[in-house]
């Protein structure tokens, strides 16, 4: 494809949108929460423990209920995850991450609707999930 002035203009504008996102308060809060999480030793220990437990859980899942440690590992992973999720740094990071996702979703919707209201725009990362909806709306139509 040959680069026309129209394509170059679209690329320049999209670069501008990217720079606006990187300079936004939402993204700054995300970066600060990420840095705080990375620097917090207690949070990192909880994350490390969760990752170790997750490896054990995945091993148990290969055999399902037939694995001798299925019950204990399943209960323990829930407990470890809850403990990790309740830590203030982890919770703040997850909130900031959701806010960035919402900002990106809103921008995607605005761009799509500026072209046509008929364009289906996935929300909340729905493009990565299977909703069972066959119309391509990401489950927003209610047809499933």
Question: pLDDT tens across 125-144, in order?
Answer: 665 444 555 455 555 555 54
Collapsing DSSP states into helix, strand and coil, what is residue 17?
helix
- Distance (Å, rounded) from C-alpha 133 to C-alpha 125? 15
* pLDDT tens-place string over residues 85-102: 999 999 999 999 999 999
End-to-end CA distance of the chain: 39
Mean pLDDT, residues 27-32 taken together: 98
pLDDT band at 1 (very low <50, low <70, confident <90, very high): low
Helix axes of 25-39 and 41-61: crossing angle, nearest 10 degrees: 80
């Amino acid at each position: 494809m040959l680069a026309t002035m129209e394509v170059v203009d679209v690329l320049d504008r999209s670069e501008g949108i990217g720079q606006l996102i990187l300079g936004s308060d939402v993204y700054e809060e995300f970066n600060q929460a990420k840095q705080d999480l990375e620097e917090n030793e207690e949070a990192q220990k909880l994350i490390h423990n969760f990752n170790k437990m997750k490896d054990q859980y995945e091993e148990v899942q290969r055999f399902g209920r037939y694995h001798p440690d299925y019950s204990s590992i399943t209960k323990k992973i829930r407990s470890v995850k809850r403990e990790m999720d309740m830590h203030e740094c982890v919770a703040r990071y997850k909130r900031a991450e959701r806010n960035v996702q919402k900002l990106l979703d809103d921008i995607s919707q605005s761009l799509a609707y500026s072209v046509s209201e008929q364009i289906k725009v996935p929300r909340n990362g729905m493009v990565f999930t299977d909703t069972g909806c066959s119309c391509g709306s990401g489950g927003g139509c209610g047809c499933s």
